[in-house]
Amino acid sequence: MRYDYMIVDVFSDTPFGGNQLAVLTDARGLTSEAMQAITREFNFAESTFILPAEDGVHAAKVRIFTPARELPFAGHPTVGTACALVMSDAQAAGEFVLEEGVGPVAVTTRRDGNLYSARLRLNRGPDRPESPPSAVDVAAVLSLPERHIVDVFAAGMGVNFTFVQVTSRDAVDRSQLDHAAWRGLLADSWASQVHVFAGELEDGGELYARMYAPAFGIAEDPATGAAAAALAGAAGLRNGRDLAFDIHQGVKMGRPSLIRASVRVADGKIAEIGVEGATTFVAEGQIEVPDRFLAGSLVG
């Protein structure tokens, strides 16, 4: 059976930048096994599968897969899928809600001619572990001298990250994941995904980042919205005030991305986290799915 798909580039306003995303626009009848196999076939960082919403007031249910596993939430798939729904005329531009593994996620979409963008909103703070990895450990994992490590902390919004602030953009570019060190030091930790960045977590700040997620089958991610959300939440809790900053990622990979992250703080607590960026249409087509991957009601 053939299924329609779209390919979009997320957190980029031009094709062939940002983070690639395959969106199956009507995934009814596909098993979880099929979704995982299709994601491996596309071999992007993530693919999404659109299903009818369980709550009729919501726009759609969205399942998100990496080549290795399903995720309860991810930023670039949320932003990209929201824009794909508008591109395909399944939803009008504006506000709607997507159902994901973490629960309802509100999005605001915009269209200006052929330019599309979306902003997701989360109304809670990030999860945090009791203690993050040490500077010594993350230096080994990133193949960097310890003197380049400025700060280490961990946070997550459905997906957990170890954040490593380093001294300079050059240190970010020089980072290289040591897989043996990662397996021994971080693979089984609370936050095995490693997000390394340079820049200050301040209002109007400009960060330069890379992200490694071998546990998800992602050697390096060009743009990581879930990390941006967790980073904004952690920064808001640290500073105790509203912040908005930009994250430049994917540059070293040749897929430059721009993520705008923000946090609103009220009475010392996180009131809202926002992640925003552009999405560009790249391609559309059909994928043939063997009957053995379909739900039993569609076979025979």
> Which run of H or of E encompasses 164?
strand 160-166
How many residues does the structure list for the chain? Answer: 300
- Sequence-ordered alpha helix ranges (H) in the chain: 32-42, 75-87, 135-141, 169-174, 179-185, 225-239
CA atoms of 156 and 125, how far apart (whole Å):
9
CA atoms of 214 and 234, how far apart (whole Å):
23
Among the options 46, 100, 220, 272, which is catalytic?
A: 46
SS3 percent helix, strand, coil of the chain, rounded to 5, is 25, 40, 35
Q: Which two tokens stand for residue 116?
A: 């599309």
The pairing of beta strand 19-24 with beta strand 46-51: parallel
**Catalytic annotation on 100?**
no
Q: Residue 283's Cα: distance from chain center in Å?
A: 21
The pairing of beta strand 206-213 with beta strand 243-249: parallel
> Radius of gyration of the chain from Cα atoms?
19
As annotated, the active-site residues are 46
